[in-house]
Every structure is written in C-alpha cells, then in structure tokens.
Amino acid sequence: MPQRLHLVFGGELVDPTKSVFKDVNDIHIVGMYPDYDSAYDAWKAEAQRTVDNAHMRYFIAHIHRLRDEGTEASATEELG
C-alpha cells in the first residue's frame, strides 16, 4: 500500500483573503505526516495556536498527489 504523505506548513499572509506569504523565508514547516488524519490534527493545533493573528494561515499539502508512481513520468517530471 503506498504512503499518502501530507505536509503541514504555514505563515503570515500579505492579505488574509489571499494565499500569498508575506515572507517565504519565514514559512513554518510543521512536519510531514503519513496520513491525512495526523496531518489534520497538526494543522488544527497550529491554526488554533495562531488564531489571534488573522494573517496567519496553515495549509495541508497532499504530497502523494505530486507524483503518481503508477505512471512512467508524472506531470511534475514532464515540466523539467
């Protein structure tokens, strides 16, 4: 069974209505998780910890979607 890796990250946004980081060098990498449920728990903890700052946002990236092991070349490999 393939792993379904998820990355939780976040930081301060320029505008709370958009997903543009104020400073990409200050992005907080929370961690990599083996399943969505554990990633969600980490995301929720960070989102609640920073709830007082409207410009802070955390995201869950579905890393397993970046590469399809079943195909010879995934879409991301074809870009480079």
This prediction has a pTM of: 0.77
Question: In total, how many domains does the chain have?
Answer: 1
In a domain, 77, yes or no: no
Q: What is the pLDDT of residues 9-60, one digit of tens each?
A: 999 999 999 999 999 999 999 999 999 999 999 999 999 999 999 999 999 9
Q: Which domain holds residue 37?
A: 6-65
What's the pLDDT score for residue 3?
A: 76
What's the pLDDT score for residue 2?
A: 67
In a domain, 14, yes or no: yes
In a domain, 78, yes or no: no
DSSP β-bridge partners for residue 61 = 7
CA atoms of 7 and 33, how far apart (whole Å): 6
Q: What is the pLDDT of residues 60-70, one digit of tens each?
A: 999 988 765 56
Token digits for 71?
């195909």
For the domain that residue 13 is a member of, what is the CATH number?
3.30.70.2400
User: Given a cut of 80, is residue 71 above it in pLDDT?
Assistant: no
CB 12 within 8 A of CB 22: yes
In a domain, 39, yes or no: yes
Torsion from C-alpha of 18, 21, 49, 36, nearest 10 degrees: 80
CA atoms of 3 and 46, how far apart (whole Å): 23
